[in-house]
Amino acid sequence: MFVFKNAWKSVVRNKGRNILIAIIVAIIAAAATIGLSIRQAADSARATGLENTSVTAQISVNREKLIAAAQSSSSSSTKPDFSAARTALTSKSLSLADYEKYAKASTVKTGTYYTETSSVSKTDSFQPVSTTDTTSSSSSSSSSSQGTTGESKGGMGGGGFEAEATQAGDFKLVGFSSDTAVKNAANGTFTMTSGKVFGYTSTSNNDVIISKSLADFNKVAVGDTISVTNPYDTSKTISLKIVGIYKNSTDTTTTNNGPQQSNSSDPSNAIYTSISTLKALGLDTSSEVTTTDSSGASTKSAAAQLSYTYVLGSKSAYTTFTKDVKKAGLSSDYTVSSSDVEEYESSLLPLNNLAKFALTLLLVVLAVGGVVLIVLSLFNVRERKYEVGVLTAMGVKKAKVATQFAIELLIVTMIGLGVGAVAGAVSSVPVSNQLLASQVSQQESQTSSQQSQFGRDANVGASGSTTTGNSSSTSGSGTGTTGKTTAAPTQGAGNPFSTRAVNYVSSINTTVSISMVGQLLLIGLGLTLISALVGVIFVMRYEPLQILADRS
């Protein structure tokens, strides 16, 4: 009890020095609170951001691995073996049955939807939206090809190798499996201006919806029948009934990001229908077509390109799904990926950079503050050298004297820690948001610089490429984040240099949690122990009689 009473009296008696120490500790505590708040916000956003949001996933071919394996096995050491590389890619195509098998193998609830993309060619009565009166080169080159129906073969889904068959024709003929698939069309969201969306059973075969631009260009309306041809056998005319006309939320033109590669790559020339219609026309993934190139070589491929999407309830479900499909036999030649997860992680880039900066700042503040406290503790012991001599001469053990100095420092440190924690909690939100705004601005500047380098204007949502299922508003552990949409370059459907909206986390709303209080206490105790250790060392080295003799 003597030690505690004497320590408190000393704290009150030496107000000036102890106030200085408390101020230094308060500054350290405030900086630590802000830094810990930022790191907590980043960890919370990263851990819980996608837990309450659906996540889409795709299985795609690991192109890099297959190409590397094909080239390494080539007999030629100088010239690439293009044939082997193409064979390696096409031989790994997954069928619709394969995708469905992996959906059933998942131990978590899994929704699915898919599209099959084929093509059709123009006729004299129905033309694609185009500034010229020429058929796409791919369509012309395929006009002499014979269409055949043979063994079942699935197209490549989820970013796989695109079959040559889907490159022919003037219109993309896209078959959807369900309303969910329509809602997530590759060309982006759209609204119906007249009519309604087709059905998915055989009773709705040959029912299609077309874009308003295409309808206006050809002066057709809901209820009209249009004629197109099979691009692999132009002698076959296909009749399609228009049951609806839609308008894309975003429009892609040939003047913004360079000319279109072909008429079919223009979103306005996309014709939407059901999977059942594609199957009835022999243009689905279960049908094969034969194409002939300029050299006369024939190639067999699927009549459509398959894109299969899995819908999971959260990021943790996505992680479980990834493990489940590997257990079900998915080889390392394939990868499971999620654009939602990737986009959300991209949205956290400014916050993650700020968290790294906050950690660096915290370490610097702790190091500098620790050195200052050690120096002040050293001066404190040296100034009170005579007091140490008197106490030890009276019979007080050196250990108790050293404990008294440590308790004094602990009292002052805890007071400063409390004041600093309160100040840090009050200022953490505005300071953190100001720093985060600077990081977001820097990230946007880098994106703008990249776009300027290519000489292209930012076109948010080009080709209908939008972020889906990646809400960046999160809450958890007392931390909330909100996002700010900006354009970031990415590859979009039909446009290799399109841009996509990235919802950068641009503000955080933090509160001091129990874990943060615990971390602050550990910081305070650590500083106290390190600083007190210097005093303990000096106290234990002092000889009381020598101190009194020197004083006299």
pLDDT in tens, 82-112: 666 666 666 677 889 999 999 999 999 999 9
Least confident of 242-246, 379-383, 459-463: 459-463
pLDDT tens string 408-425: 888 888 888 888 888 877
Give the single-character DSSP code of 145. P
* pLDDT-based confidence at residue 253 (cuts at 50, 70, 90): very low
Higher-scoring residue by pLDDT: 212, 49: 212
Least confident of 4-13, 280-289, 541-550: 541-550
Q: Per residue in 302-331, pLDDT tens?
A: 888 999 999 998 888 999 999 999 999 998
The DSSP secondary structure of 428-453, one letter per residue, reads HHHHHHHHHHHHHHHHHHHHHHHHHH
Over 50: is that where the pLDDT of 461 sits?
Answer: no
For residues 4-14, average pLDDT: 76
Average pLDDT over residues 58-64: 83
Q: Is the pLDDT of residue 551 over 80?
A: no
- Look at residue 138 and tell me whether its pLDDT is greater than 60: no
The dihedral sign for the CA sequence 538, 544, 550, 552: positive
Task: Supply the pLDDT for residue 208.
Answer: 96
- The Cα 150–Cα 190 span in angstroms is 36
Least confidently predicted of 91-105, 161-175, 475-489: 475-489
Question: CA-to-CA distance for 119 and 470, rounded, in angstroms?
Answer: 31
Whole-model pTM over 0.75: no
**What radius of gyration, in Å, describes the C-alpha atoms of the chain?**
35
Of the two residues 370 and 212, the one the predictor is more confident about is 212
Q: Residue range 469-487: average pLDDT?
A: 43
3-state secondary structure of 488: strand
